[in-house]
Amino acid sequence: MTSTEFTTADGTCTFVPAPTTPYQGDIARYWNNEARPVNLRLGDVDGLYHHHYGVGEIDRAALGDPADSAYEKKLIAELHRLESAQADILFDSLGAIGRDDLLVDAGCGRGGSMVMAHQRFGCKVEGVTLSAKQADFANGRAKELGIEGHVQARVCNMLDTPFETGQAAGSWNNESSMYVDLHDLMAEHARILGVGGRYVTITGCWNPKYGQPSKWVSQINAHFECNIHSRREYLRAMADNRLVPNAIVDLTAATLPYWELRATSSLVTGIEEAFIESYKDGSFQYLLIAADRV
């Protein structure tokens, strides 16, 4: 396998595997260059850096008066609280995880979810991302927290991971499954999970009830260079790969307050309208699917 050189934040030179396809090269570049304030400023609140969205009711009392000079800071903290609440909901669905178990985060971003999972379960958490910059960032945070022996990110294709067959007790995709073929993805999760293990995804998917992807869904795809799948595709790919859903939770109503609040902030990116309108017209859904590896 060919590799490319990458210099880490501490100046160390390292080699990372070259992307398997030109598309994966595009996605690696996209995340290597990403530095949106809506992600960095939220992460700065407590050092948990997420690249996913939020769920739950807005705490209006915590936000206080919009005319107050401290309001924007409180709004950022509130958006971040909702994003961390989203990760907590995903972990609630993983079932019983012990300290000696291994969890795998497929498409781990800057690693916020990995840190949270380790803090909650005490176990080892391994993540993969296409972006060397993200992996370096996640490993840097783990080192700062003194948990580098438990939380590790590497540059790797989630469809072809180095984990042993049956090694993981749990694995997840948190808003990272819209970059890959779902049959290939579920086959890899089914391979690395032991029988009785649990797979969880939180994802945005287009709703077959709408007919085809709406213009808003197409806009989201173009914005992130991703390819949103339908709800039907998720269920079919799981069924074909020994992953039996035990929970399908529609989080659409729970994520709307996050988007409506975000749309009023100074950190807007321009994609807020597409999420709000597609959730409202029913063409797009925010779903959690948990499945047992049988």
Q: Which residues bind ligand GPP (CB under 6 A)?
A: 36, 38-39, 51-52, 175, 178, 204, 220, 224, 226, 228, 269, 271
With binding defined as CB under 6 A, does residue 158 bind ligand SAM?
yes
Residue in the structure block whose two tokens are 């197409």: 218
- Within positions 34 to 53, which residues make up the interface with Mg ion, using CB under 5 A? 39
Closer CB to ligand GPP, 97 or 130, in the complex: 130
CB atoms closer than 10 angstroms to residue 260 = 13
Among 93, 129, 241, 285, binds ligand SAM (CB under 6 A): 129
Which does residue 269 bind out of ligand GPP, ligand SAM, Mg ion, none, counting CB within 5 to 8 angstroms by kind?
A: ligand GPP
> C-beta of 232: minimal distance to ligand GPP in Å?
16
> C-beta of 17: minimal distance to ligand GPP in Å?
22
Among 16, 27, 243, 251, binds ligand SAM (CB under 6 A): 27
Closer CB to ligand SAM, 227 or 266, in the complex: 227
> C-beta of 5: minimal distance to Mg ion in Å?
29
Closer CB to ligand SAM, 63 or 216, in the complex: 216
Closer CB to ligand SAM, 14 or 71, in the complex: 14
With binding defined as CB under 5 A, does residue 134 bind Mg ion?
no
Tell me the longest C-alpha to C-alpha distance in the chain: 57
193-206 and 284-293 beta bridge pairing? antiparallel
CA distances, 111 to each of 47, 221, 226, 262 (Å): 10, 23, 20, 22
Binding footprint of ligand SAM on the chain (CB under 6 A): 24, 27, 31, 50-52, 107-109, 112-113, 128-131, 134, 157-159, 174-176, 179-180
